[in-house]
Amino acid sequence: MKRIQIITGASSGIGREFALQMARNRKADEIWLVARRRDRLESLAAEIALIDGAAKPLVVEIDISGKAGATKLAKTLEREGQSGDLTIDALINNAGFGTYGPFADTPLEKELEMIDLNITSLTALCHHALPYLAGGSLVVNVASLAGFIPLGNFAVYAASKAYVLSFSVALAAELADRKIFVSTVCPGPVDTEFALVASSGAREKVVDGKSAEAVVRACLTDAQRGKRISVMAWKWKFKAFMSRFVGRYWFARHTFVHEKRPSRSDGV
C-alpha cells in the first residue's frame, strides 16, 4: 500500500513549511508538492530529498483553482490509485490568497478567483480525497483568524475563511467514526508572501507576523493532541475567544473605518 501526503500551495510560506515538517516527522512513501511555480517546487523537493527517512518528493505543477483545477489533481489521484493500493496519509489544503481594501474598490475578478481557490478548490479536494483516506489519515484545512468574525476592508477573504472553519469542523464530525482526523489551523498575521499578494505590492510584510515554522509546528502538535482547531499565539487565542461577544456588524464597521489595508487598487 503506497501512502502519500499532499500539500497544496507548497511553493512558499505555510505550505512549504508543512512539507518540510511532515517530511521530517511523519512517515509516508511520497509527498506531493502541489503549486504553480515549478522552480520553487523543485528547490523544495531537492531540500526534502536530503532529509533522512523523508518520503520521496513529487513535484505536481498544477493550478488547482476552482472546480477545473481541483479536477486536474483528482485525475492524477485516479491514475495513481487505479491499482487500489493508494492511501492518502495526509492532505494539507493550504493554497489560498486574500485581497486588501473595500469590496467596492477591489477588482471583482480577483475576488471571484479568491472564492474559487479558498472555497471551491478546498471543498472539491476534500471530496476527491475521501475514497483514499483511511483510519489514521490527517486532513488539515488552512483557515484564518479572520474566519471568526466579519472584517471591513477584508470582506471576501474573511467570509471565505469563515466557510473553511465551519466546513472543516463539520467534516471533522462526519469523519470521526472512520478515525480520520480533520484539523483547522487559524493563524493571524504570518511572515509570508501573503501581504505582498493581498496588497497588490503595496505592503511587503504583515505587521508583527509570526513565523510559518511556528504556526505549522503548533498545528501538527495540536492535531497529535486531538485538538481540531489550532490557534497558536495567546493574542490570537484571545481574539478568537472575544469574537463570540462582539457584535458582528460593529466589528466589521470598526475595522472598515479604523483598520485600513493598503492596496495598489486604491491608489496607495
Q: Which residues are catalytic?
A: 157
C-alpha cell, 161: 475563511
DSSP state of 218: H
Can you tell me whether residue 53 is helix, strand or coil? Answer: coil
What are residue 125's phi and psi, to 5 degrees? Answer: -65, -35
Contacts (Cβ under 8 Å, ≥6 apart) of 248: 149, 150
In the DSSP assignment, the letter for residue 146 is: G
Residue 173's CB is within 10 A of a number of other CB atoms, namely: 11
Other Cβ atoms less than 10 A from the Cβ of 177: the count is 7
